[in-house]
Amino acid sequence: MTLIGWMQILLYCAIVLLLVKPLGGYMYRVFSGDRTFLSPILGPVERVLYRISGTSENEEQHWTAYAAGIIFFSLVSFLAVYVLQRLQGVLPSNPAGMPAVEQGLAFNTAVSFVTNTNWQNYGGESTMSYLVQMAALTVQNFMSAAVGIAIAVALIRGFARASGKSIGNFWVDITRCTLYVLLPMCIVLTLVYVWLGMPQTLGPYVDATTLEGAKQTLALGPVASQVAIKMLGTNGGGFFNANAAHPFENPDAISNLIQMVTIFALGAALTNVFGRMVGNQRQGWAILASMGVLFVAGVAICYWAEAAGNPLVHALGIDGGNMEGKETRFGIAASALFAVITTAASCGAVNAMHDSFTALGGLIPLINMQLGEVIVGGVGAGFYGILMFIVIAVFVAGLMVGRTPEYLGKKIEAKEVKMAMLAILALPLVMLVFTAIAVVLPSAVASMANGGPHGFSEVLYAYTSAAANNGSAFGGLSGNTPWYNLTLGVTMWVGRFFVIIPALAIAGSLAAKKTVPASAGTFPTDSPLFVGLLVGVILIVVGLTFFPALAIGPIVEHLAMIHGQTF
């Protein structure tokens, strides 16, 4: 580890913290229906969209209607993405002549982008036409991100309101999120990325000749616009197979820093939105502090592991950190930081190959996803994920002091605890069950590039990434097979909707409750004590659930590595 490396990490953290309050204040005004500086331009567009869709900003929905809107919207989106892929060969804007996408891969990809996972069992530049990249994948990058933010805002309303029957209007929330938050920011980011050297063109691929005389084809396309929303919306799906390690998707250190900041920007700002909506910004800062403790610990361990390098390589007389699978233009510190950010935030974009990380370096991204990506998390998804753990934390606190658990004046009762546990336990269920089957099923084992604990980690990482709606991968696993296309698709659906539905049920239940005034026995949830309790509950729940699997994967691999053994 170096001073320059830590300075990069501290600079990143400082920028994110500086953005939290202004961006949170802006988003609060957007979702409260207040006037913003964009209202004169976008207000008429917003009202036209409401008339076309047959809704109104004054109409609110019960949580069941809100959930039904999400499910219907997601199903229609899935069909649209699937059909566009299957018809790709006969549709325009296909200069490379890409054929129709095979049905199993089309199913997996459609589920992936609709659920904000962006798992890719394909190489973008060799599989998808410009039209599919734009009309299917990029559009879903916007829509799936807007859905996640809308759910988080609806859940916040559940905590903020008293004796109410509604939690907002889904159609209004996604319209405002897209118009006022995602689109304006992405327009600016796209122009910045083009300035930094990213392609943004509908022209055909370019044939080039190297200095050695070898001919090669350079894939181009509307890259900058997709990168803007893939990072801001924590989608992560790359235009190119190498994702953010490709120089056209991530040209230099400046673009790398911008992308890392945008991954965290909206998720971190939602903590401030929460504080403003419940009338106590300290509550939002307490949640962000909990996220920050877990994030800094993960970065420190991952950076240390990668900087320490591989003892097996050192035994050959080669000193230094682990640069395998990393870009020299980023180095170890920025690669480790990016890996922790992208798995803490449900983004899944990568600027280095996680499969080439050391055992402990790869363990941290894996744990981040198994935590439910509550460290900032995907836009909206991470926030409603950590609120599930908050429900459990205040329940535990209530048991310890013999009081009915409450949070922000709302009594946390059996219904809320059951829904929170359903959301928390649904993810490890599919992660571990499908992993157990895949490591013994011959057709699934055939996709593993490595044996032993690292091969097990590849499979565990795949299902963890799918259930957490992350999308990053240990690249050694060949996922474009009938087994993985189907089971990973099912895992992504479960990871999205088995969290969304319980979260909305909690929102509806809490919104209907009266607010109880704080008393001398009320547990303060904006204090360092609560931060410690929340972090402890998260680590204990996840540790008890996943430690056995981690023990036979990355932990065994690390122990073998330091003792000079290979598999």
Domain range annotation of the chain: 28-205+219-279
E runs forming strands in 176-305:
206-209, 215-218
Residue 567's pLDDT is what?
56
Specify the 3-state DSSP secondary structure of 337: helix
Q: Token pair of 531, please?
A: 């931060």
Structure confidence at residue 564 as a pLDDT band (50, 70, 90): low
Q: How far apart are CA 441 and CA 88, in angstroms?
A: 33
pTM: 0.93
**321: amino acid identity, one letter:** G
Res 402 pLDDT > 80: no
Beta bridge partners of 216: 208
Q: Token pair of 558, please?
A: 């690390």
Q: How far apart are CA 364 and CA 376, in angstroms?
A: 15
Region 353-378: mean pLDDT is: 89
User: pLDDT > 70: what percent of the chain?
Assistant: 99
Residue 161's pLDDT is what?
86
Region 198-203: mean pLDDT is: 92
Q: Pick the closest to residue 240 from 208, 198, 189 (CA basis).
A: 198
